[in-house]
C-alpha cells in the first residue's frame, strides 16, 4: 500500500519534470523564431536568416 503511494508520487514527479523540460524547450524555440522573424521583417536578413550584404557598386 505505501509502496504504491510512493510509486505514484515518484511517477508524478517524473511526469512534471519531463513536462517542464519540454515546455522550456518550446519557449526557447518560440523566442528564437521571433528574433529570426524580426530580423527578416527589418530587412537585415533573408528568409533563411542569412545576413543581407549590400553591394558597394
Q: Write the pLDDT tens digit of every residue in 19-56.
A: 999 999 999 999 999 999 999 999 999 989 999 988 77
Residue 55 has a pLDDT of 78
Question: pLDDT band for position 57 (50/70/90)?
Answer: low
Residue 54 has a pLDDT of 82
Residue 49 Cα distances to 14, 20, 25, angstroms: 37, 29, 21
The answer to whether the beta carbons of residues 49 and 39 sit under 8 Å apart is: yes
Residue 48 Cα distances to 5, 8, 31, 44, angstroms: 51, 46, 16, 11
Sign of the alpha-carbon torsion through 15, 21, 26, 31: positive
Amino acid at each position: 500500500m505505501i509502496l504504491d503511494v510512493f510509486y505514484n508520487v515518484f511517477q508524478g514527479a517524473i511526469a512534471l519534470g519531463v513536462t517542464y523540460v519540454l515546455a522550456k524547450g518550446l519557449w526557447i524555440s518560440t523566442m528564437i523564431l521571433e528574433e529570426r522573424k524580426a530580423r527578416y521583417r527589418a530587412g537585415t536578413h533573408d528568409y533563411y536568416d542569412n545576413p543581407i550584404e549590400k553591394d558597394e557598386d
